[in-house]
Amino acid sequence: MAMRQATKAAIRACASSSSSGYFARRQFNASSGDSKKIVGVFYKANEYATKNPNFLGCVENALGIRDWLESQGHQYIVTDDKEGPDCELEKHIPDLHVLISTPFHPAYVTAERIKKAKNLKLLLTAGIGSDHIDLQAAAAAGLTVAEVTGSNVVSVAEDELMRILILMRNFVPGYNQVVKGEWNVAGIAYRAYDLEGKTIGTVGAGRIGKLLLQRLKPFGCNLLYHDRLQMAPELEKEIGAKFVEDLNEMLPKCDVVVINMPLTEKTRGMFNKELIGKLKKGVLIVNNARGAIMDRQAVVEAVESGHIGGYSGDVWDPQPAPKDHPWRYMPNQAMTPHTSGTTIDAQLRYAAGTKDMLERYFKGEDFPAQNYIVKDGELAPQYR
């Protein structure tokens, strides 16, 4: 409870701002006492839903806001059924006012769905990353899109560090040996390395990228980063990271490449066969950003050939990943479902942040400025 209150207080303390736009927009503010239909799309927890009282990010526990919403006269529909013309979500598209989703089980909000949603005013992401929404269509329709900025950046950065070590130390084959009752030290050790002295490059150094670099500093690595914005000199010195303006210059130097940029039209499929070919042979790649940043088949071919020495991440395209997704079966991978940003600690933060924005919406107040992805017909800079 203290964590929720502290998070909520921190969110409220953030300044809010407005931006001008030229698109006509749907009326955003909810009138006092005006009943709204709110739909939440989350993953189903089944038997795990009751195992932790703070497990809020699932269908069963619905961010912990059901009683609060219904006590104010709002209708709150929650489902995990989000795909296809006959899914549960589709039934509510025509008359919902607010749609809440997460990056972990995203409700894909297409231009077609936006067109059908005549009452829709607000799209909220419980977490970080709103690329499951057609942002251009949302902007053109005058919708507001917002997310709980910063809610799971620590969670993701810690997970990235874990994945770097898992790949570097060739952990997965060792674990598999134990499960299978085997014992073959050579089968693990021949491609296990120390992290110290290796060159680690992050493509993108926003909130998550900076936290990762800070956590890597004690390992004695050579730290590089590429981003549209260079850090302040004092922060670079504190972290011990070097800015590389030209991505093509940075990539061949890296023993490990970590993807930390949003999915946009510019970054979709960015790591294709040509760009992967510029990487050092045997490079390790960690991608907790978005699966679609990578060319799916190019990754498979590079891993199979050994050009990529190991690939790990928790993001797929689409999500959930189909059973025949080739990344499930390629060698030297340490893939998981999309879990890095949905730790219990992160769930408490993004549940509190979602409730805070709904409260502000009902009162006609602005959100914290950094939470906006689309406002007044304009996209946030990272999505332009």
List, as residue ranges, the binding site: 128, 152, 207-208, 227, 262-266, 288, 314, 338-341
Q: Is 290 a catalytic residue?
A: yes
CA distance to 2, 9, 86, 147, 308, per residue, from 126 (Å): 20, 17, 24, 6, 33
Q: Please write down the long-range contacts of 214-222, taking CB distance under 8 Å and 24 or more positions apart.
A: 214/239, 215/157, 215/158, 215/161, 216/161, 216/164, 219/195, 220/196, 221/195, 221/196, 221/197, 222/197, 222/198
Q: Is 169 a catalytic residue?
A: no
For tokens 């088949």, what's the residue? 297
Question: 10 Å Cβ neighbour count for 148?
Answer: 28
Q: What strand order describes the sheet that includes 122-125?
A: 75-79, 37-41, 98-101, 122-125, 144-147, 372-375, 378-379
- The 3-state secondary structure of 197-221 reads CCEEEEECCCHHHHHHHHHHHHHCC
Tell me if 293 sits within 8 A of 265, measured CB to CB: no
Among residues 152, 170, 333, 371, which one is catalytic? 152
Among residues 338, 347, 349, 371, which one is catalytic? 338
Q: Is 325 a catalytic residue?
A: no
Bridge partners (DSSP) of residue 76 are 38
Among residues 170, 260, 287, 319, which one is catalytic? 319
Binding-site residue numbers for NAD(+) are 207-208, 227, 262-266, 288, 314, 338-341
Distance (Å, rounded) from C-alpha 345 to C-alpha 351?
Answer: 10
Question: 10 Å Cβ neighbour count for 249?
Answer: 12
Among residues 74, 92, 113, 290, which one is catalytic? 290
b/e burial code for range 92-113 (CB count within 10 A of at least 16 → b): bbeebbbbbbbbbbbbbbeeeb
Q: Is 260 a catalytic residue?
A: no
The residues carrying an active-site annotation are 152, 290, 319, 338
